Chain A
Amino acid sequence: MIAGNGAAAWGARLARAEIIPNFPITPQTAIIEEIASWIASGEMDADFLPMESEHSVISALAAASSAGTRVFSATSSQGLMLMTEMMFVTSGLRLPVILVNVSRGLSAPITLWSDHNDVLVQRDSGWLQIFCSNNQEVLDSVVMGYKIAENSEVLLPMMINLDGFTLSVTREPVEIPSQNEIDDFLPAYNPTHTILDPKEPMSMGGAVFDEYMYFRSQQRMAMCNSKDVITDICAEWGKMTGRGWGHELVELYCLEDSERALLICGSESAILKYTVDKLRAKGEKVGMLRLRAMRPFPCEDIIDALSDVEEIGVIDQDVSPGSGGIIATEVKACLGRSVTSFIAGLGGRRIDAEKYEKIFGRLGRDVEEWIF
């Protein structure tokens, strides 16, 4: 039984992350505390670098990754915001950094509880973004994350999100693979595109003139490539552990004959699944699609899964004031049809089965509705 934060730390430990720059922030702190204790006890061989800010954390991640070491850190909310500038630098330099974000609503007003606005502010930063629904998925995603991000067809950083409190402090049964198993699965990181060795001098982070757009298109291509890489690596992981995580980029639940479906991401999907079961027992044809990957955005998977569904709603635990639910906007663009956009669960506001039942009853309208 381990909490989500412990699962994230285990992922980093099993992946043999070598450099761990860190800065405390609620609700992430337990991740770095766990790693600090393992390094102190000799159970994990890594350098623990307490930095002076999250900006310095991401800078250290980028520098250490540039030198070819495997790196890991975790942050939340305000910390992730402070990293913003360097998020783009990290993806632009094509550094396969793994950063866990424990989602937490953004200030002001201050909240400690989870929503997804922090993650979605970084949506366009060129990072792969994975949302986890339980603690096992957190551990699995971190380990798989290195293999995906370090793939020569990808070479992009990855952010793995777990929801603050609902996952971060909640204990669940988690199967921890053996170190030997992981060592076979994940080879050491030895990059050829970034080297900081006087034997092979390389200038990194220089200026360009009009090649800028070329480099951006390379990033886009890597993001496109990542879809197949994620699918393949999830399949490999599934073969090894018996856990493949659904359709890899999305998880489908009871969608085969659904007339109504809700799209969601993160741990709140658990109660939604429970609600789906409850309504199905009453004969209602409802289903759920959980978005695992926000980037790359799994448009084809969403079309395949939802094109026959009559009424679709999107639960956004985020909002772009003046536009609406961020994910709903993307889903509309992807499907080319209207969906009902529900803004719910901001700042950890509870979404229980009763609310989901109400939401299922309010589909079929092209509106933005706030569920308090």
Chain B
Amino acid sequence: MKNPYLKKLTDIPMEDYLVGGHVACQGCSASLGLRLALKVLGKDTVVINGSGCMTLLPVYPTTPLLVPWLHLAIENTGAAGTALYYALRRKNIKANILGYAGDGATYDIGLQSLSGAAEKNIDMIYICYNNQSFGNTGHQRASSTPRASYTSTTPVGKVEVAKDMPAIMAAHKIPYIATACPSYPIDFLNKVTKAAEVKGMAFIDLLVPCPVGWDFDPTEGINIGRLAVRTGMWKLYEIVDGRVNLTYIPKKRREVSEYLRAQGRFSHLSDEDIGAIQAEVDREWDELEARGYEYELGI
């Protein structure tokens, strides 16, 4: 059997199931994430979408999607995926079920429905495309928004830290959880492959830098994603059977200021504020280094 895991960029399948001509913003990483994921999941995939930016991909009478797509509402991707799993089984249709919903639709309004699907360990792949805000409505605060970020509803910066969604999913004892970023496509796509392989629910929290909400030039999205990872502010890891395993360890972490200063949403921060964030990130990584990059989550 062919090894399904990718080693280099040229291993990425050429086939596309999200094709051009849609209305996503210039430099949108969320649509890139979907395009990449569908490349490895292939044509036998049914997508369930929670209301958000990606909902505007099919606009009557056109669609850029070459796989079946169902959008119902913002808060029910988990419930729809649950029903679809049973419905497709009854119809003898063998397909990957891909839930693709934003962070607001996942961390916040859709958490109950997602929790229901996770508790039932529904055999689906749920990718949360995480732009750390309610992006489609114009970048409002969500529980996924990082501390200090400007949003249109936190004009002086968010006070609270972001919810630890992967840990919440781990508490549901589902077989596969990962974080990812389209700036690291090989890492991301091998996680999608693993997510498709496991029997039961897989959850991937995919950081998608948003040029509009985060306020950076649309050509910079991939770089911003790389900086999020290289500064240590977005960790790439998997959780399998309660064990966390970092899949990328920056050799020498870049200064967080490189990441923060590149985005308008952090432009109000003083050098002192940035120093505090740096200290926090350093502390987290020191702890990681001390206990090793593979450890029991203890949930």
Question: Is B63 among interface residues, defined by CB-CB distance under 8 A?
Answer: yes
A61: min CB distance to chain B, Å = 7
Which of A57, A68, A201 has the most chain B CB within a 10 Å cutoff?
A: A201
From known contacts A49-B82, A56-B79, infer whether A198 and B55 are also in contact, taking CB-CB under 8 Å: no
How far apart are B120's CB and chain A's nearest CB, in angstroms?
A: 8
On whether the beta carbons of A195 and B68 are closer than 8 Å, the reply is yes
Cβ-defined contact, A207 with B87, below 8 A = no
- Say which residue of A51, A201, A207 sits within 8 Å of B68 (CB atoms): A201
Which of B25-33, B39-47, B211-219, B270-278 is the interface stretch? B39-47
Q: Is B70 within 8 A of A66, CB to CB?
A: yes
- Is there contact, CB below 8 Å, between B68 and A62? no
Nearest chain A CB to B52's CB is how many angstroms away? 12
* Chain A hits for B71, CB < 8 A: 204-206
Q: Which residue of B lies closest to A205 (CB)?
A: B71
| List of B residues within 8 angstroms of A202 by Cβ | 68-69
Report yes or no: B87 in contact with A59, Cβ–Cβ below 8 A. Answer: no
Neighbouring A residues of B48 by C-beta, 8 Å: 63
Residues of chain A in range 45-86 having any CB-CB distance to chain B below 8 Å? 47, 49, 51-53, 55-57, 59-64, 66-69, 85-86
Contact of A211 among B49, B56, B60 (CB under 8 A): B60
CB-defined contacts of B112 to chain A, threshold 8 Å: 52-53, 56
Number of contacting residues on A, CB 8 A? 40
A158-208 residues with Cβ-Cβ distance < 8 A to B are: 195-198, 200-208
Interface pair A196/B88, CB less than 8 Å apart: yes
The docked-state distance in angstroms from the alpha carbon of A196 to that of B92 is 12
B44 engages A196 (CB within 8 Å): no
User: B76: CB under 8 A from chain A?
Assistant: yes
Decide: B58 and A203 in contact? CB cutoff 8 A. yes
Task: Provide the bound-state CA to CA distance between A64 and B85, in Å.
Answer: 9
B 70-90 binary contact with A (CB < 8 Å = 1; else 0): 111101101111111011111
**Chain B CB within 8 A of A19 CB:** yes
**Which of B56, B67, B76, B88 meets A86, CB within 8 Å?**
B76
| B66 CB–A CB distance under 8 Å | yes
Given contacts A196-B88, A205-B72, contact A64 B83 (CB under 8 A): yes
Contact of A207 among B59, B79, B80 (CB under 8 A): B59
- Find the residue from B43, B66, B72, B113 having the highest chain A CB count within 10 A: B72
Chain B residues with a Cβ under 8 A of chain A: 43-46, 48-49, 55-61, 63, 65-73, 75-76, 78-84, 86-91, 93, 95, 112-113, 115-116, 119
